[in-house]
């Protein structure tokens, strides 16, 4: 028997060893392929740009021809420089300029050339040298956090060094989704890291002060440029007229006039009076308004591809663009994924729709800047180029080939393809006569114009000493904290005029949930159970349905009401001890029973624990006003129109509601549309 066991064990050992060997071979083949490709890409690049001294000035000889070309001469006009460079570009270089996608950032400040299991983004996104040297791309977006400037700047400067070694030395433009919120929200916004921390845009709208928004955007501009971020994939000009939509926290609420003022201020703060070397170009999204999603579902997914207008309110969603983004001089625009149902002669997604991009945006409203599509409209997203993780958002044109999708976007008026790495496809379409090279020149001219205006051809590198002096500066952090305080909305304070719980003037026995006990201990004596407490403070998140998938799991979508058992647990607590409920509000939440049973109800849009405790204990006062409605029931949400604001029947808390400590709890605090 022992001999049989030995033979079986030996066989299993050989089998396991064989499997390990096979996996090792596969590992070597896969990662070796990336290493060989990296060596090839780097070998194809030329030297760094030497310095030219002309008329007592130093210039960068980007094309390494030992003479000063017009595009290298910072004294020349932007248009002259664009003309000169465009005339020197090959078809492949033009095509590469018309794509923007994510690129990974090296964890130690190094270029990312080999996929790493420790960083999943390196398995999905093409490597740095492949994009720059092989595909001639030089626009990238970033997901990596900026936890401290040194690592990010080291990587950024190495990336710009790669770009400098290309034939024409065209610098890299880096873009980012928002990254200044107290909460990072997946694909909507990113963690603030070392940057100053502010409420989400919905919280800025709760403050309602355009001057403050402009100041915030100016601070964000300084922190972005300090580390090498040049384009903001924001602000969001969409309107929150559909309370179930998952992207409301990134908007300025549901009032178009308020949003227009906020968007205009945001653009001015980021760009200044005109786009220049210190600016961050804003890519305002999503034209012509991405908020009225059918049943609140998001257009990232096929079940949310339809935007509907049952209230015939299409033009209302244009107001933040017409009265906000355009007058402020927004440099770039992004249309959304969805189909504006019944609004044009064909029901196709915005980026495929010539009547939206060319007729409405360009011709009717005179927009002359860059129009970049949202991410992934042509090809499916894949891991290591093989394992599909998300289908292309080619809504309305799903049956078209990849090439025909691209052609339709070009015909619609798109300048840049977001979330794609396929310039070779565009080159092929030109070579086979499907599209004229002159059409590419129109878009390339717009893209180059922004690179020149941003000063990237003359000074693409960032300085660590300067960044350390700017990023997370004490006064920036203090202003962000002050904005958090101003954004908080007091919705309820006791049951009647004689029973106001806030502000608390004593040092109570306090029970807490989701509050840092170290912070809370500065205000009260903490206890372990509600039964021991004089007062409880709980911080809760807005409810949502957990969805499956890499993007869906990050978006808070679906029903907006609390479900059992969590609802019952909260209500039981409220019956046990007087409780201050603080809810992070990222959508129009239904919570009448919790509101009724609470001692006080506070809404925030991204606020640190100390901000909430300062308000509860009277060290600050509530001033924020709701930028969205809070509906009274799920039925009211279902019955409202997706494209119409303020139309929820008998809302629990209407738009503009917000109490102060000087008001009786029974009084309303409705603001006018003009909040300032």
Q: In what order do the strands lie in the sheet with 525-526?
A: 489-493, 600-604, 579-584, 535-541, 509-513, 525-526
Beta-sheet strands, E only, within 153-216: 173-176
Rounded to whole angstroms, how far apart are CA atoms 397 and 599?
53
Confirm if 511 and 576 have CB atoms less than 8 A apart.
Answer: no
- DSSP 8-state secondary structure symbol assigned to residue 545: B
**How far apart, in whole angstroms, are the C-alpha atoms of residue 165 and residue 49?**
7
CA distance 159 to 113: 11
3-state secondary structure of 1: coil
Torsion angle (degrees, nearest 10) of CA 500, 503, 507, 513? 90
DSSP per residue, 371-385? EB--S-SSS-EEETT
Do 49 and 62 form a contact (C-beta atoms < 8 A)?
yes
Helices (H) and strands (E) counted in the chain, each on its own, are: 21, 20
Axis-axis angle for helices 402-412, 423-431 (nearest 10): 80
Taking the mean position of all CA atoms in its chain, how far away is CA 472?
A: 20
What's the rounded Cα separation, in Å, for the pair 16 and 260? Answer: 64
Within 185-327, where are the H helices? 201-207, 210-227, 256-271, 319-320
Active site residue 374: yes
CA distance 246 to 236: 13
Neighbouring CB atoms inside 10 A of 31's CB total 13
- In the DSSP assignment, the letter for residue 249 is G
Please pick, among 73, 177, 238, 374, the residue that the annotation labels catalytic. Answer: 374
C-alpha 49: how far from chain center: 34
Q: SS3 for 319? A: helix
Pairwise CA distance, residues 300 & 444, whole Å: 27
Rg of the chain over all Cα atoms, to the nearest angstrom? 27
Distances (CA, A) of 72 to 13, 173, 221, 280, 442: 65, 17, 26, 22, 21
Cα→Cα distances 487→180, 208, 213, 584, 615, Å: 15, 9, 12, 12, 11
CA atoms within 13 A of residue 424's CA, in its CB half-sphere: 5
Sequence-ordered alpha helix ranges (H) in 45-144: 78-88, 91-97, 121-124, 128-129
Tokens representing 288 are: 């012509």
> Which sequence positions are flagged as catalytic?
374
């Amino acid at each position: 028997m022992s001999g049989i066991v030995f033979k079986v064990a030996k066989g299993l050992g050989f089998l396991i060893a064989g499997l390990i060997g096979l996996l090792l071979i596969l590992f070597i083949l896969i990662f070796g392929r990336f290493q060989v490709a990296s060596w090839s890409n780097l070998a194809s690049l030329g030297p760094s740009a030497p310095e030219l001294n002309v008329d007592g000035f130093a210039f960068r000889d980007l094309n390494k021809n030992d003479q000063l070309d017009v595009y290298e001469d910072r004294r020349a006009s932007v248009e002259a420089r664009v003309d000169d460079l465009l005339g020197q570009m090959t078809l492949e270089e033009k095509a590469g300029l018309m794509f923007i996608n994510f690129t990974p950032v090296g964890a130690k400040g190094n270029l990312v050339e080999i996929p790493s299991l420790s960083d999943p983004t390196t398995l999905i996104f093409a490597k740095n040298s492949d994009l720059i040297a092989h595909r001639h791309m030089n626009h990238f977006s970033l997901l990596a956090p900026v936890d401290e400037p040194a690592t990010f700047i080291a990587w950024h400067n190495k990336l710009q060094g790669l770009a400098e070694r290309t034939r024409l030395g065209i610098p890299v433009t880096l873009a980012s989704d928002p990254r200044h919120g107290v909460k990072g929200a997946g694909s909507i916004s990113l963690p603030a890291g070392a940057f100053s921390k502010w409420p989400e845009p919905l919280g800025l709208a709760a403050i309602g002060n355009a001057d403050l928004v402009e100041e915030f955007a100016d601070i964000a501009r300084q922190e972005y440029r300090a580390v090498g971020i040049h384009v903001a994939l924001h602000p969001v000009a969409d309107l929150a007229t559909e309370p179930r939509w998952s992207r409301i926290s990134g908007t300025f609420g549901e009032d178009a006039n308020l949003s227009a003022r906020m968007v205009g201020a945001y653009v001015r703060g980021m760009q200044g009076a005109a786009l220049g070397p210190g600016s961050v170009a804003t890519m305002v999204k999503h034209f012509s308004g991405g908020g009225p999603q059918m049943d609140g579902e998001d257009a990232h997914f096929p079940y949310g591809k339809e935007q509907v207008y049952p209230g015939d309110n299409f033009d209302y969603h244009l107001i933040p663009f017409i009265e906000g983004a355009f007058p402020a001089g927004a440099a770039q625009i992004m249309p959304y994924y969805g189909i504006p149902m019944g609004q044009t002669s064909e029901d196709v997604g915005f980026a495929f729709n010539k009547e939206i991009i060319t007729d409405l945006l360009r011709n009717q409203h005179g927009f002359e800047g860059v129009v970049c599509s949202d991410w992934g409209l042509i090809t499916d997203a894949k891991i290591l180029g093989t394992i599909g993780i998300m289908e292309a958002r080619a809504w309305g044109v799903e049956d078209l080939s990849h090439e025909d999708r691209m052609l339709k976007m070009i015909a619609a008026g798109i300048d840049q393809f977001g979330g794609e790495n396929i310039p070779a496809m565009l080159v092929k379409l030109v070579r086979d006569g499907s599209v004229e090279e002159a059409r590419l020149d129109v878009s390339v001219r717009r893209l180059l114009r922004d690179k020149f205006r941003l000063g990237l051809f003359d000074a693409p590198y960032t300085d660590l000493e300067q960044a350390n002096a700017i990023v997370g500066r004490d006064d920036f952090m203090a202003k962000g904290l002050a904005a958090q305080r101003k954004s908080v909305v007091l919705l309820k304070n006791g049951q009647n005029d004689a029973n106001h719980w806030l502000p608390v003037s004593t040092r109570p026995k306090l029970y807490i949930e989701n509050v840092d006990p170290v912070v809370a201990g500065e205000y009260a004596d903490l206890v372990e159970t509600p039964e021991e407490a004089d007062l409880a403070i709980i911080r809760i998140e807005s409810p949502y349905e957990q969805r499956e998938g890499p993007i869906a799991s990050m978006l808070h979508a679906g029903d907006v009401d609390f479900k059992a058992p969590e609802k019952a647990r909260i209500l039981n607590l409220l019956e046990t001890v007087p409780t201050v409920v603080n809810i992070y509000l990222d959508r129009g939440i239904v919570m009448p029973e919790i509101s009724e049973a609470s001692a006080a109800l506070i809404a925030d849009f991204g606020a640190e624990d100390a901000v909430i405790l300062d308000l509860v204990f009277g060290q600050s006062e509530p001033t924020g006003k709701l930028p969205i409605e809070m509906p009274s029931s799920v039925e009211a949400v279902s019955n409202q129109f997706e494209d119409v604001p303020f139309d929820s029947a008998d809302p629990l808390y209407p738009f503009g509601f917000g109490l102060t400590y000087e008001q009786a709890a029974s009084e309303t605090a409705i603001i006018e549309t003009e909040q300032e």
